[in-house]
A and B are shown apart, each in its own frame.
Chain A
Amino acid sequence: MLKYIGFRIFQALLGLWFIATLVFILSRSIGDPAEVFTARNSGVDAREIMAAKLGLDRPVHEQYLKFLGQLVRLDLGDSVSNGIPVTQILVERMPATFTLGLVALIFALALSLPLGVLGAVYRDSAIDWIAKVLAFLGQSMPPFWSGIMLIILFAVVWEMLPPAGKGGWQSYILPGFTLGWGVMAGMVRLVRSSMMDVLDSDYVAMARAKGLPEAVVIGKHALRNALLPVLTYSSLVLGAFMNGSVVVEQVFAWPGIGTSAVQSVVRRDFPVIQGVVIVFGSFFILINLFVDILYAVIDPRIKYTP
């Protein structure tokens, strides 16, 4: 067990190192790094200062070690468009992205748990069909477009909810639902199929044979066991949200990390893009690590085959 966890941590570190190296190679191969890391119309002075800061007169391996050293100290450089340290920008924008992801997860769970369970209990009934249609739509709709359509309906036509920006709790509904819908599709299928497996098992038959009320059998005996894969999936989903948040934040002008990534591409603000990729990538890897360890702890059948 410890060996397995140790191995997974080693692997995660390897992944982090890989992403950092990829970013380093990219930053040195786009063009003159001094130009890449300064604003587009900055003068020769600014570029020389940047060249000195990046150590461009030093050999590549020294530059690389310097880059890694700065990373470890969480120094991601300054934004070229407004001079604010990238770490500060990311820390300021992180909460908005995380709360949006959390709201989306709540939406996804609140929809997929009842729909999946009822779909498994009443197979091929109306509710099973509704679940299927919702799931297929969620899987097939481009989130940027469904977001815009929701804005038209709920903000423009019915004027029930704010169209964009982050404000009161109402402002979380549309972006949260847009982000959650795509993920809900996979979840409904998972809840339904794992619930069906459990319902066919011996201990559920046993519980029924004891004459327990059906609600207790489903709620207590079946659902609890069907939830394990769903829990694993939900933590992985947080990773999927990072991908989706880039698009959804853009649609709803949400002041999160995704928006700043897109804005920096438009402004050619490389230090910020670099920071976002490193932060998102690390987060992705850490979530995967966490899930794997959690899984090994919960399910003792997972042995330490690396």
Chain B
Amino acid sequence: MANTTMQTVAPASAWLVRVRSSLSVARRVPKIPTAVLLVLMIFALFGQWIAPHSPVAVDMANSFAPPVWHEEGTANNLLGTDKLGRDIFSRLIRGARVSLSLSLFVIALGGGVGVALGLISGYAGGKVDAVMQRGIEVILAMPTILVALVFVFAVGRSFESVILILSPFLAARFARIVRGETLSVRERDFVAIAKVIGTPTWMILLRHILPNVFNTIIVLATLEVGHLILLESSLSFLGVGVPPPQPAWGLMVADGREFLTSAYWITLFPGLCILAAVLSLNLFGDWLRDTLDPRRRQL
């Protein structure tokens, strides 16, 4: 009610309406997933000041200390310690940085390339499109984890090699979806007009098509971060991810496997972190899709 009166009575305050409507969108943000994601981001950014201990400090005298709620647990190691006496809580906090930064690098690299390829492929059409789509299909038809195993075997285990091998797979997924969107935007009137007045192709792609597929890209990126965290932790678990002593969550789960019955906390908490992160990203991404891009419920 209030909104409509304002619109009709005072058009000058249209910005107020816009602020209000974006506020009402903000109020509908899924609260728990957003909170979880914010905490993880704070951990990733400011982890070294929040963590009570160094994530790699070995303290053999204090190995396998149980979490604080056990009888022998102390507040010094809230979530207990692993076989080398390293503080689980501190390692989890630093692990957030490993998982998030790696995923963001892959999104930036693979996603960037994928968006560019998708725009070109969809806009150019014809032979260019056909060749690119066949290439993308070949990449999508390869088993990611196995190819990553072989690649890391070949070039050695490092943060960078994991980014390099995951990026092409992400690029292919981005390219396929952006291409589909581009195909439909290409047929719209404003693109035809831009062409008629002689706008250069790169300008049409950047100024007219990209903004119209941007919502899809944002939604896809959010959902893919979750997917990447799962992939990265699987690789770490298999021993071909980020090298130790960097505290990657997947590696921590693997570390605890031998001590399942005696020290469950080494395995339980890193897994819960992965679950919380990916679940929050999926829920947040779903909400984002319904808000920004209601046509693509199947994504």
Binding site for B on A (CB under 8 A): 11, 14-15, 18-19, 23, 26, 29-30, 136-137, 139-146, 148-149, 151-152, 156, 193, 239, 242-243, 246-247, 250, 261-262, 265-266, 268, 270, 273-274, 276-277, 280-281, 284-285, 288, 306
Among residues of B, the one whose C-beta sits closest to the C-beta of A289 is B141
B250 to chain A, nearest CB (A): 7
CA distance A285 to B261 in the complex (A): 41
In the complex, which residues of chain B have a beta carbon less than 8 angstroms from the beta carbon of A139? 278, 282
Most chain B Cβ neighbours within 10 Å, of A148, A273, A280: A148
B154 to chain A, nearest CB (A): 5
Q: List 24 A-B contacts (CB under 8 A).
A: A11-B134, A14-B138, A137-B279, A140-B275, A141-B274, A142-B234, A142-B253, A142-B278, A144-B237, A145-B253, A145-B275, A148-B257, A148-B271, A149-B268, A152-B264, A156-B260, A242-B143, A243-B143, A243-B145, A262-B238, A270-B153, A273-B149, A277-B147, A288-B141
CA distance A149 to B269 in the complex (A): 11
B247 to chain A, nearest CB (A): 16
Q: How many residues of B contact A (CB 8 A)?
A: 43
CA distance A47 to B218 in the complex (A): 52
CA distance A239 to B141 in the complex (A): 9
- Which residues 247-299 in B have Cβ within 8 Å of A in the complex? 250, 253-254, 257, 260-261, 264, 267-268, 270-271, 274-275, 278-279, 282-283, 297-298
In the complex, the answer to whether A136 meets B271 with C-beta atoms within 8 Å is no
CA distance A252 to B189 in the complex (A): 57
In the complex, which residues of chain A have a beta carbon less than 8 angstroms from the beta carbon of B283? 136
Report, nearest first, the 8 A-B pairs whose CB atoms are least far apart.
A145-B271, A140-B279, A140-B278, A144-B237, A30-B154, A243-B143, A15-B138, A142-B274
A-B contact count (CB 8 A): 127
In the complex, which residues of chain B have a beta carbon less than 8 angstroms from the beta carbon of A19? 142
B146 to chain A, nearest CB (A): 6
B93 interface hit (Cβ, 8 Å): no
CA distance A136 to B275 in the complex (A): 10
In the complex, which residues of chain B have a beta carbon less than 8 angstroms from the beta carbon of A247? 145, 234, 237-238
B150 interface hit (Cβ, 8 Å): yes
Binding site for A on B (CB under 8 A): 130, 134, 137-138, 141-147, 149-151, 153-154, 226, 230, 233-234, 237-240, 250, 253-254, 257, 260-261, 264, 267-268, 270-271, 274-275, 278-279, 282-283, 297-298
CA distance A141 to B141 in the complex (A): 23
In the complex, the answer to whether B250 meets A144 with C-beta atoms within 8 Å is yes
| Residue from the list A15, A149, A239, A262 in contact with B271, Cβ < 8 A | A149
CA distance A15 to B230 in the complex (A): 27
A243 to chain B, nearest CB (A): 5
CA distance A273 to B177 in the complex (A): 32
Most chain B Cβ neighbours within 10 Å, of A14, A145, A151, A276: A145
In the complex, which residues of chain A have a beta carbon less than 8 angstroms from the beta carbon of B270? 145
Given A142-B250, A156-B261, A285-B141, check contact A148 B267 (CB 8 Å).
Answer: yes
